[in-house]
Structure 1
């Protein structure tokens, strides 16, 4: 669909592009079958798609440029040619790739129709390899092999590099038939990247700074700190590449710019003067073209970066916050130049990280677990971003695709494992504003807040107390995350942190002492299942939260409190096991016999080394889960057949010594991700019978996949 037939209308008066807009977010699979007609190239073949291999998994949607909540573009199909890339919501964020081989054009990315210069064929995709940081497509056509790599760097512990809202795209050509071929590569992005409404007027520009050519597009009347369709309504899209011989550029109507590349293999170096104009008015694109000349051996890569720069980035309690990158570079132009200078080194660091994730995950959970971890990394990081507040770094998280809240505690919590494993500093930065708000921001209640604001990027707080209260849930979450973070600091740093926040943490722990053993009617993180009284799983979380306070007290060198909270947790867990028992398994709720639920909150007991849950209880639960598995996993409880990806892997981590249930859960989630018909960024809520998405996508909670990698080995 996408940009095909832009000047045509369907019989119903809706453009083919708008047909895609009308689809539901969950129905993204429609984007995988372009509507072709007129001069559009022939789809690279449903038969050709079957030839493509996928290593180590066929992603439900492949991450392309995934760096922040607003730089989040995916491929919602198997094949790079023939489908428009899209924002995580499903809105087209068009990227076009056309390679001209011996004068013959082939599409290798997107689904363009070029009326003035028809492109009759697409390249054949041979493989897709997905790692923690890269998605690499190998394609062939016209005797040439083209390797297209999307690299979104993950830089644990390097705040400077991690703060850059930029992602790489590189293309390398070589002969596939032993003959030399004339090759030029054209790529563009459309103005759709700049706003969620194609009726919005935008302006564009081209400039060369520090040896880098940057083409940009910006809303002409930006709405600062506002969204449209979850896309930022302010900021600038930056499409950049180093200046080099054979490089040409052009900004203008898609049909005009693409036709120039197809016909001549070069662009005019001009900027369409008809601006500002609506995104959907002759669809302006930012085009780049590199003439490789005669190609036999592999070329040097054609490296382009895509970014979205916004100032300010957030608002916290009424005060605007700048993106953290402004602490390191005086302008985005300087940042982009540094990003390109760093490409070779960044690629090396990315390979090291890719290899580490694969090796570590394979060692604890096998090849399928390694595949799930590789798929989760960019998505987990891409739901967060770094800002600066009073000269110090902070991190915020967006509750993507559900409520859109700012730094939701029970969304940060399930995503915690990836940061404990790869980047504890990042977890500390995510905790910082949550603690600050409770301590200094006017939060009025004795238990932890649910979030920092009703909608990203405005962390307005809830000083009136009106929010989605989850008292036991969020208080325990904050204590468990804090204890996990402290365990990864030096003793001195842990003492400093624990002492600085001790009063608020103790307040939450004392709330749990009074309420965790038998929670009243409360909401909890799986709020789609409804409020529940006497929840056995919620009680478990609260008890582990009390135990977590013992670890925090130890870090703060308060031995008396450490003893008190640990003994309380031990006393409570004994009562919990008795009250929750229902034959050979635990109940859903204390007062509901003949019920059961998945006790994923056993994982933090293992994480913190508390040893609260007896091996007998754990073994009985494992046997019950094995007996109640469906094709794609264990349901959350007996009321529905759906489950959550993060909780499946949390349960696998809790049961990591029981190979049968651990491996079964890993296999079930892998099989779901590898075969689900819903082509959306890795969902964490799906049906265990059909393998279909139940809801949610692209959420940072997917970092919970890493739970097994946080345990002592």
Structure 2
């Protein structure tokens, strides 16, 4: 079941590249392999005005601290500002499981961006200001030229949809924005696997400055094996809807392997790199050393395509480059806009049928989609800015400034683990279990991510539930309880018709019923009634399994499978009982009042027995398992009781648990249970939501913020970390961080 990350071939020395590192982890083998990414920072010593000490790459802040502000090193060098958080890794282009590029450090200049695995996805940015070249992205080596000076990074502002850097050099300020739109309620726009990069330049000293901006990306954006041969093309794409025409540089594997992966990257599809046409734009495709030397020598590119194709990604490292000659720049800003994306057809397979990406329902090809994406750039910026402000306002009201920062860090990652497809003309959404097992639409990965969809777009949760319900109803799943996933390896939803999978009987059955109840609670009554009626038989089947097995679960696996199987689990029993209670809501929506009454009565009876069985002998907290006195665990499964308003868990029990957790807070959080010092951030926020009227809720938020802003594990936001050492314990970039929105999801 493991889906380990393959370490790619290292870049050649001619590119002046830092070796990327990746690690792999299965959910059951995570303690043997943590997947921590370690990257250096070549070129940082040339950054003007930046601290030349380890502090520039060390954590800012301490537990409970406010968002990081500007500061000075002992030598007086300026440190960058991070608002509202110093991310463990900065999301740059994060839109799908295969478009997921991050910066694993604080400074944009001096290191390569990377795929979520740590695999280099090289991007270079150079600014020529009055004839002097400055580096602002990447770590390139340019033959016969000294390494350009680095622009000073003044700040990084992180919002839910964008990462915005402000850099300066030579009397010029560069604002560089990486925008990966999230479009709640708009399937057409949400389906586009594209991300914006915009650059805005202005003079800061009152003088006019001659400015040019250079960007390139490498073939590493396409494939995890640098020995893979690729082909490329340049084309002019007409504008649409009043938008600009584009120059698009694209590349694809010479011999694609459809519906397969290498190192968690797709082995088919096309990387699309486009620039909005404007006066002074030039482009070039060729060897990295040739193309970068051309721009620093001539101040422009040759508008030529290297015809030495196909060739391997690591054979003279072909890059795809644009240069914007912005001319004389004063206080009025000059801009340049690019986009990057990864397009695939088909997107996934479902029980042997290939399914196209949903965007193909709206556009005949990627060229028309890219043209629309650029025409929509201004409106997208306004929409996402409004969304950013809404999330910040709502999250601050729900949990404070640090909670708002965690939500900003999580949104792109949560949606970026999913993608939209078309099945017989109707939309579905699939989810990849990133960095753990690599399964397709894992139920107990969809479940912890649920709060973000409930808060922003309940219909999207319905699209994720669609294939999971369809498989159990029509696809050949043979068991009476719910399936664990739709296939062992994304993007192939081959199912498990032989029943041979990582079974989590109570876990997944309750998860499906609870998610279904949450969905119908957030849509209008007609949709709720239709959903409950259409899926009543399978939801009732799973609930009846819970009636038989949930009160005292046998020796079963559960979502925290890295801790091992467990018998008589109090937390698992709680989930199952709440699932039974949730079915009463589904029955009511379907008009089956008799079932609604019966399931509600059963849940109430079981919860009373559960309290007695789970209560520790010291009567101040609940046990880990019924037969393990003196133990405890984080009862994050209490959250659905608050979410659905079931009113099953007695208030006194919740208060007792909250008081106990307050005595168990380590510097960076509350462990899952006393067997280990690690915890999961998504479950901490579920617990904070369940107990939001108790001071421990704020303690949990502050501890998770402290971890995220100070951890030395520079990887896309991990959900599994050590509450003592501040290090990642496993997992990264997983969509489960949608669970951080649990507090926001409580308000309809």
- Same fold by TM-score, threshold 0.5 exceeded? yes
Give the aligned partner of residue 281 of structure 1: 315
Q: How does 1:256-655 map to 2 (within 5 A)?
A: 256-582=290-616, 583-655=619-691
Question: What residue number does 1:63 align with?
Answer: 91
Aligned position for 1:192: 220
State whether residues 517 and 586 of structure 2, in contact with CA within 8 Å, keep that contact through their aligned partners in structure 1.
Answer: yes
Deviations, residues 422-453 of structure 1 (Å, cap 9, x unaligned): 01111000000000000000000000000000
Residue 27 (structure 2) aligns with:
none
Aligned to 1:11: none
- From the superposition, tell whether residues 41 and 233 of structure 1 become closer, same or farther in structure 2 (CA, over 3 Å): farther
Q: How far apart in 2 are the matches of 1:345 and 1:290?
A: 23
Please state how far the C-alpha of 1:27 moved relative to its aligned partner: 6.4
**Maintained 8 Å contact 1:124/1:139:** yes
The answer on whether the counterparts of 1:358 and 1:370 sit within 8 Å (CA) in structure 2 is yes
- How far, CA to CA, are the matches of 1:619 and 1:626 in structure 2? 11
**Residue of structure 2 equivalent to 1:46:** 52
Are 2:722 and 1:687 equivalent residues in the alignment? yes
What are the ranges of 5 or more consecutive residues in structure 1 without an aligned counterpart?
Answer: 9-14
| Pair 1:560–1:300, CA change in 2 (3 A) | farther
Q: 1:33 aligns with which of 22, 35, 41?
A: 41
**C-alpha distance in 2, partners of 1:7/1:580?**
60
> What are the superposed Cα offsets for residues 478-520 of structure 1, whole Å, 9 maximum, x if unpaired?
0000000000111111001110000000000000000000000
Counterpart CA distance in 1 for 2:332 and 2:509 is 56
Q: Determine if contact 1:29/1:677 at 8 Å carries over to the other structure.
A: no
Q: Which residue of 1 aligns with 2:116?
A: 88
Q: Deviations over 1:135-180 (max 9, x none)?
A: 0000001111000000000000100000000000000001122211
Contact 2:9–2:225 (Cα < 8 Å) also in 1: no
The answer to whether the Cα contact below 8 Å between 2:226 and 2:312 also exists between their aligned partners in 1 is: yes
Q: 2: distance between equivalents of 1:4 and 1:444?
A: 45
Structure 1 CA distance, aligned partners of 2:336 and 2:608? 62
- Give me the whole-angstrom Cα distance separating, in 2, the residues matched to 1:294 and 1:597: 63
Alignment correspondent of 2:183:
155
| 8 Å contact from structure 1 (residues 4, 16) kept in 2 | no
CA contact (8 A) 2:722 2:728 kept: yes
The 2-side partners of 1:175 and 1:507 are apart by 67
1:4/1:113 contact within 8 Å kept:
no
* Corresponding residue of 1:697: 732
Query: Any conservation in 2 of the 1:27–1:678 contact (CA below 8 Å)?
Result: no
In structure 2, what is the equivalent of residue 98 of structure 1? Answer: 126
Structure 1 336/72 Cα, relative in aligned 2: closer, same or farther at 3 Å?
A: same
User: What is the CA-CA distance between 1:4 and the residue it aligns to?
Assistant: 11
Determine if the alignment matches structure 1 residue 110 to structure 2 residue 138: yes
Cα distance in 1 between the residues matched to 2:10 and 2:604: 64
| Larger RCO (CA under 8 A, 6+ residues apart) | 2
SS at match of 2:685: helix
CA distance in 2, matches of 1:44, 1:495: 60
CA shift for structure 1 position 657: 1.4
How big is the shift at 1:23? Answer: 6.9
Cα distance, 1:580–1:603 mapped onto 2, change above 3 Å: same
- Closer, same or farther in 2 for the Cα pair 1:298/1:61, shift >3 Å? farther
In structure 2, do the counterparts of structure 1 residues 448 and 401 end up closer, same or farther at CA, with 3 Å as the change threshold? same
Of 647, 655, 662, the residue aligned with 2:697 is 662
Q: 2:603, 2:614 → 1: CA distance?
A: 16
Query: Contact 2:21–2:38 at 8 Å: present in 1 too?
Result: no
SS in 2 for 1:146: strand
> Which residue of 1 is the match for residue 196 of structure 2?
168
TM-score between the two structures when normalised by the length of structure 2: 0.92
- Which one is further off, 434-443 or 172-181? 172-181
Counterpart secondary structure, 2:522: coil
Residue 169 of structure 2: aligned partner:
141
Shift of 1:32: 4.0
SS in 2 for 1:301: strand
Q: Deviation string for 1:194-251 (max 9, x for gaps)?
A: 1010000001110001111100111100000000000000000000012110100000
Alpha-carbon distance between aligned partners in 2 of 1:46 and 1:560, rounded to the nearest angstrom: 71
Aligned to 1:12: none
1:284 and 1:23 map into 2 onto residues whose CA distance is: 26
Q: Is the 8 A contact 1:116 1:255 kept in 2?
A: no
Q: Does 1:707 align with 2:742?
A: yes
2:263 is equivalent to residue 204 of structure 1: no
Provide Cα deviations, 1:560-587, integer angstroms capped at 9, x if missing partner.
Answer: 1111111100100000000100021000
The CA distance in 1 between the partners of 2:601 and 2:377, in whole Å, is 53
Quote the Cα distance in structure 2 between the aligned partners of 1:492 and 1:225.
Answer: 37
Cα distance in 1 for partners of 2:326, 2:406 equals 37
Instruction: Classify the secondary structure of the residue corresponding to 2:469.
Output: helix
Contact 1:41/1:112 (8 A) holds in 2: no
CA-atom RMSD, angstroms?
Answer: 1.8
Deviations 1:230-282 (A, max 9, x none): 00000000000121101000000011111111122210000001000000011
CA distance in 2, matches of 1:121, 1:176: 19
**Distance in 2 between residues matched to 1:426 and 1:588, nearest whole Å:** 34
1:231 aligned to which of 249, 265, 283:
265
The DSSP-based 3-state class of the residue aligned with 1:46 is: coil
> Which residue is 2:209 aligned to?
181
Please give the per-residue CA displacement for 1:111-156, whole angstroms capped at 9, x wherever unaligned.
1111133333110100000000000000001111000000000000
